[in-house]
Amino acid sequence: MIRESIQLGGRTLTVETGRLAKQADGAVLVQYGETVVLVTVVSSRQRKEDADFFPLSVEYREKSYAAGKVPGGYFKREAKPTEKEILSARLIDRPIRPLFPKGYLYETQVFAIVLSHDGENDGDVLGTIGASLALLISDIPFAESCASVRVGRIDGEFVLNPTFNDLEKSDLELVIAGTKSSITMVEGEAKEIDEETLIQAILFGHQYIIQICELQDRISQFIQKPIREFTLTFQDEQLEEKIFQSVGEMILQAAHTPDKLERKKIREEAQEKVINELGVDLADKAIFVNEVLDKILKKEMRRMVLEENRRLDGRDTQTIRPISIEVGVLPRTHGSALFTRGQTQALGVCTLGAKLDEQKIDALEGIFSKPFMLHYNFPPFSTGEAKKVTGTSRREIGHGNLAERAIKSLIPSWDQFPYTIRVVSEILESNGSSSMASVCAASLSLFDAGVPMPRAVAGIAMGLIKEDNKIAILSDILGDEDALGDMDFKVAGTEIGITAFQMDIKIQGISIEIMRDALQQAKKGREYILQLMNEALPRPRNKLSEFAPKIVHVKVDQEKIGLLIGPGGKNIRELIKRTGSQIDIDDDGTVVISGIDINGVQEAYEYVAGLMMEPEVGRVYRGKVTRLAEFGAFVEILPGREGLLHISNIAHKRVSKVEEILKVGDIVEVKLMNLDAQGKMELSRKALLPDASGVIGGTKHSHQDKREQRNPSHKTNHPKRS
């Protein structure tokens, strides 16, 4: 067993190997604080012949026992991966994938399990460290050590691996992955920071990445496993030359065809020609044929950019594709916008909901709610394909999360805008940067819905072509430029600064100078897109859709929450049923009432607000008759507060039966005549009615009263009613 530690950000980072999971090709235990992650790696000995890409899968699992919790639900065990686990797996996958040999088609799996969680330190960056070291000490081919760190900024000072509490005070959350020499991945969110601040944060984090990589290298030197024998994808230089002679001109023509679908059609015709001209025996070498066609297209595309400053669709490196914007495109939604950039089109739809609509998340660090959600859908027809739809993909979760983080910091607080907000981005066409188109469409749909955001948010994807010392940075990349280029760098933000970013490198890394240039070019592109968005809809609409729920707040004493809810929830259920409103009650006594019908919301509000009122002697109330008795009626004048309307106080005339005048459910005006120390209330309807002489509240003497006036000594003793 080997175990080594270093100090990192005021805490100890410990890596260990040789004690656990010894049947895996590589296994490493990583501990930071009291968060412990086990990472294993296994690679098949048999090449996957039908694979046309590296079959790497990364799994990240958070065990409930790690935080001393029992899983919720009926089965009481961990189920399918959560959104957090999927996003963490992607954070591990993306920096290690470029470090495997090109053409290595052996099924490989990295498995990270969070065994202990201290509630302060996230295990995702530990997963990357463990995956890198597990690969280094195995016999699997892997280029060099890599690592990840998280960077925050509090009061202008960068913080390494901020805790969950630190992140609440931070205006930046940045995950950086890299090797000792360069950066390979960047992802995170910010509160409108400038480009140079992001660069300095990356430089700050990279110095610690170097320390972690050096730690890995020291350990791997003790375990000198020879690299296993493996074969790369099929290669045949003579066959490659024959393919070029057969269809090279067609692929070069495709490189000069601006339209994506036309380019795809030429490519398919070229592939068919290769098989027809060179023989059916190529059927088992289809992957190689595709690689050769890609190679020809890639070489020509890169030559055009570097030598002619011309791209596949004819643009230069900085021009943004034509943009069209429509807002309010759907009649019954709360807000909608259609954003089209070239052959990428996103439909953003905003829905406003009540507090009960918040997403509840049960994570290792605790249970919390999300009042803002952005979901991204990528149907097959968006790329002109017919594929089986099996549920939300990891790509959809990742792209949706990036777009959500881009907008999240601009969403008003609950005090300013008491709505749960869900935005859905439906990708209707895709040819590059659909996640950034989602940011634009989502921002516009929020404006259309009347959400009081201070500024619009736009996004742009940047690419890179690098051949030795020749470098070209591409603005607003196409799908083929993403696939055949060296970088996909997405940057979102406002006119003030950056709000989200994600960078993936196809080569082993890029310098900080290239990244700085890419950020400045992205800023120019973002400002241009924001200008067009502001021309279409310069500010949020000043009123909500008529179909949006109406929401009011009222505060009640915590002691009266039980009165509002009623025995077994009876009162609140009846109120919801009667008013058609949704009612949410917080433990602090805040009651949120929402609904489509403004009259129902108002009725519910008046009922709840009435709980705060104290009965006032001499005041007139409109009350509801709740029950009848032989001696009178009980009237609810305030929520949960009933008084007795005695039979003698119902009318000036003699009332023999209460049912002659009142019935349960009647609304009557009564005056509160008396309130004793026990809270019992005496009500009078008679006091509000004119007597025979027209006097309001006058008293007509009965025969008994007249006898007593004539003979004051004469009294009758009737038993008092209880």
**What is the residue type of 33?**
G
- Calpha distance 205→401 (Å, rounded): 23
Instruction: Say yes or no to pLDDT of 431 above 80.
Output: yes
Q: What is the DSSP string of 30-43?
A: EEETTEEEEEEEEE
Helix (H, G, I), strand (E, B) or coil at 108: strand
pLDDT in tens, 599-652: 888 888 888 887 777 888 989 988 899 999 999 999 988 877 889 999 999 988
- Which of residues 658 and 289 earns the better pLDDT score? 658
Among 161, 203, 196, 198, residue whose Cα is nearest residue 182: 203
Q: What is the pLDDT of residue 337?
A: 98
pLDDT in tens, 18-49: 999 999 999 999 999 999 999 999 999 998 87
Instruction: Say yes or no to pLDDT of 716 above 60.
Output: no
Q: What is the pLDDT of residue 610?
A: 77
To the nearest whole percent, how much of the chain has pLDDT over 70? 94
Q: What is the pLDDT of residue 705?
A: 40
Q: What is the pLDDT of residue 606?
A: 82
Q: What is the DSSP string of 659-693?
A: GGT--TT-EEEEEEEEE-TT--EEEESGGGSB-TT
Q: What is the pLDDT of residue 694?
A: 64
How many other C-beta atoms lie within 10 A of the C-beta of residue 353?
Answer: 19
Q: What is the pLDDT of residue 692?
A: 65
Token pair for 196:
């140079």
**Domains of the chain from N-terminus onward:** 2-222 (3.30.230.70), 237-308 (1.10.10), 323-536 (3.30.230.70), 550-610 (3.30.1370.10), 620-710 (2.40.50.140)
pLDDT in tens, 6-26: 999 999 999 999 999 999 999
Helix (H, G, I), strand (E, B) or coil at 191: strand
The contacts of residue 412 (CB under 8 Å, 6+ apart) are 451, 452, 453
- Calpha distance 109→695 (Å, rounded): 92
Least confident stretch, 153-162, 252-261, 598-607, 702-711 = 702-711
Are 658 and 712 within 8 A, CB to CB?
Answer: no
- Calpha distance 365→363 (Å, rounded): 5
Q: Give whole-number Cα distances, 30 to 78, 117, 170, 187, 519, in Å.
A: 22, 12, 26, 22, 34
Q: What is the pLDDT of residue 32?
A: 97
- Which of residues 453 and 102 earns the better pLDDT score? 453
Q: What is the pLDDT of residue 660?
A: 85
The pLDDT of 512-540, averaged and rounded, is 95
Q: What is the pLDDT of residue 561?
A: 82
Instruction: Say yes or no to pLDDT of 178 above 90.
Output: yes
Q: Count of residues for the chain?
A: 722
The pLDDT of 417-438, averaged and rounded, is 95
- Which of residues 135 and 554 earns the better pLDDT score? 135
Q: What is the pLDDT of residue 598?
A: 85
Q: Is the sign of the CA dihedral 216, 221, 223, 226 positive or negative? A: positive
- Calpha distance 39→92 (Å, rounded): 11
- Calpha distance 31→14 (Å, rounded): 5
Backbone φ and ψ for 332, nearest 5 degrees, come out as -105, -5
- Calpha distance 403→526 (Å, rounded): 15
pLDDT in tens, 271-316: 888 878 776 455 557 777 888 888 899 999 999 999 999 999 999 9
The pLDDT of 350-361, averaged and rounded, is 89
Least confident stretch, 79-83, 568-572, 622-626 = 568-572
Among 526, 533, 502, 330, residue whose Cα is nearest residue 426: 330
Are 689 and 695 within 8 A, CB to CB?
Answer: no
In the chain the first and final C-alpha atoms are separated, in Å, by 87
Average pLDDT, the chain: 89
pLDDT in tens, 670-714: 999 998 888 889 999 988 888 766 666 654 443 334 334 444 444
Q: Give whole-number Cα distances, 180 to 12, 25, 152, 698, in Å.
A: 20, 24, 21, 97
User: Strand 147-154 to strand 157-160: parallel, antiparallel, or no bridges (unpaired)?
Assistant: antiparallel
With residue 367 as reference, give the H or E element that holds it: strand 366-370
Q: What is the pLDDT of residue 569?
A: 86
Helix (H, G, I), strand (E, B) or coil at 98: helix
- Which of residues 721 and 276 earns the better pLDDT score? 276
Q: Give whole-number Cα distances, 551 to 48, 105, 583, 599, in Å.
A: 57, 56, 10, 12
Q: What is the pLDDT of residue 700?
A: 43
Among 640, 641, 663, residue whose Cα is nearest residue 650: 663
- Alpha helices, H only, 117-194: 124-136, 164-169
Q: What is the pLDDT of residue 708?
A: 40
Least confident stretch, 72-76, 153-157, 175-179, 188-192 = 72-76
Q: What is the pLDDT of residue 696?
A: 65
